[in-house]
Amino acid sequence: MQNAALEAAGLDAVYLAFRVEPSSLHMALEGFKAIGLSGFNVTIPHKVAVMRHLDDREETAATIGAANTVVVHNGRLIGHNTDGAGALAALRESGVEPSGMRVLLLGSGGAARALAFTLAEIAESVTILNRTGSKAQTLAEDVRRATGATSVTGGDANPSTLLKAAARSNMVVNATSIGMNPDAGETPIARELLRPDMVVFDIVYSPLETRLLQDAGRVGAKCVNGLTMLVWQGALAFKLWTGAEAPVSAMREALTTVLRARPDRGPD
Ligand code: NAP
């Protein structure tokens, strides 16, 4: 996706993937500085750990406590987080305006954190439910403290809490890894809890159409898939590194081709 963007923009640059062990993170970052990279993405499991090694953190990354994008400027590492803004852009591109919506957010990992902080600023309410309920409670407290939003709550995801939260929500966001390949038959919420007046946003992008989105489509809910968010978080990173607007359609086309050809794995 990023190489397609660089080529479409006519930039003499390349995007490469490196596997870095947690114990080597600091060394890798020093190496990136030394060889003069323009920037890089950070993914599982380094999004939180990278924060303490950065020279500066843009406000969103600092608030969320995780970075997915780093810009190298004058030998300094500046951390950003484009996941939340990427999710928002994906919703808006799909014709969904989350302002004033009542959101049920599933998950409390890195991606859910970014989404919780972003949605809390504009939604009417955000209910966070997670397998490990204590993580959802902590996330809700962090969001309330940082944003001043009062209608953000967190707890355990079980059949009874899911039933109650779904009944009072008109948007469901899956930010867990449930339904991701190779476990594409799974879904984080029962189909009976979905309604035609709901927006269902699944940030999982492999497979392109998850079981949750299939269920949501069957009940007539509005569906937004994870590919759209992946494109936009990447487009925002591209702009941070290059200063140029991202060629979004070239990125989407490249990504769709990869995901269709290798449905069992994402580009990560
Ligand atoms: P993460 O930090 O590892 O968090 C995973 C979350 O899923 C946690 O809330 C975890 O619950 C929950 N979970 C995992 N397996 C579960 C299971 N079997 N049953 C119930 N809950 C389970 O991962 P992440 O970075 O937030 O990523 C989450 C998903 O979002 C991944 O599929 C990733 O590919 C996708 N993602 C998409 C985009 C995009 O642009 N579309 C961007 C980022 C991430 P516990 O807290 O209880 O462990």
Q: Is the per-residue pLDDT at 263 higher than 80?
A: no
* 145-149, 185-189, 218-222, range with the lowest pLDDT: 145-149
Q: Is the per-residue pLDDT at 267 higher than 60?
A: no
* pLDDT confidence bin for 189, thresholds 50/70/90: very high
Write the pLDDT tens digit of every residue in 96-122: 999 999 999 999 998 999 999 999 999
* pLDDT confidence bin for 260, thresholds 50/70/90: confident
Average pLDDT, the chain: 95
List, as one string, the DSSP characters of the chain: -HHHHHHHTT-S---------GGGHHHHHHHHHHTT-SEEE--TT-TTGGGGG-SEE-HHHHHHT--SEEEEETTEEEEE--HHHHHHHHHHHTT---TT-EEEEE--SHHHHHHHHHHHHHSSEEEEEESSHHHHHHHHHHHHHHH--SSEEEEE--HHHHHHHHHT-SEEEE-SSTT-TT-TT--SS-GGG--TT-EEEE---SSSS-HHHHHHHHHT-EEE-HHHHHHHHHHHHHHHHHSSPP-HHHHHHHHHHHHHH-TTS---
Q: Is the per-residue pLDDT at 266 higher than 60?
A: no
**Mean pLDDT confidence for 129-139:** 98
CA of 33 relative to ligand 1 center, distance in Å: 30
**Mean pLDDT confidence for 168-191:** 96
Percent of the chain clearing pLDDT 70 (strictly above): 98
**Mean pLDDT confidence for 142-153:** 94
Out of 2.60.40.420, 3.40.50.10860, 3.50.50.60, 3.40.120.10, the CATH code matching 2-82+228-261 is: 3.40.50.10860
Query: Residues for the chain: how many in total?
Result: 268
Percent of the chain clearing pLDDT 90 (strictly above): 93
Out of 3.40.50.720, 3.20.20.105, 3.40.1350.10, 3.40.640.10, the CATH code matching 84-226 is: 3.40.50.720
Same topology, domains 2-82+228-261 and 84-226? Answer is yes
Write the pLDDT tens digit of every residue in 18-77: 999 999 999 999 999 999 999 999 998 899 999 999 999 999 999 999 999 999 999 999
In testing the pocket of ligand 1, which one of 2, 176, 180 has its CB within 8 Å of the most ligand atoms? Answer: 176
* pLDDT at residue number 265: 56
Show me where the domains of the chain are located: 2-82+228-261, 84-226
* pLDDT at residue number 146: 93
Q: What are phi and psi of 187, to 5 degrees?
A: -140, 145
Q: Residues with Cβ within 6 A of ligand 1? A: 44, 83, 86, 107-112, 130-132, 135, 175-178, 180, 203-205, 226, 229-230, 233
Q: Which has more confidence, 263 or 254?
A: 254
CA of 10 relative to ligand 1 center, distance in Å: 35
**What is the rounded distance in angstroms from the CA atom of residue 184 to the CA atom of residue 188?**
11
Write the pLDDT tens digit of every residue in 223-236: 999 999 999 999 99
* pLDDT at residue number 137: 98
Give catalytic residues, as residue numbers: 47
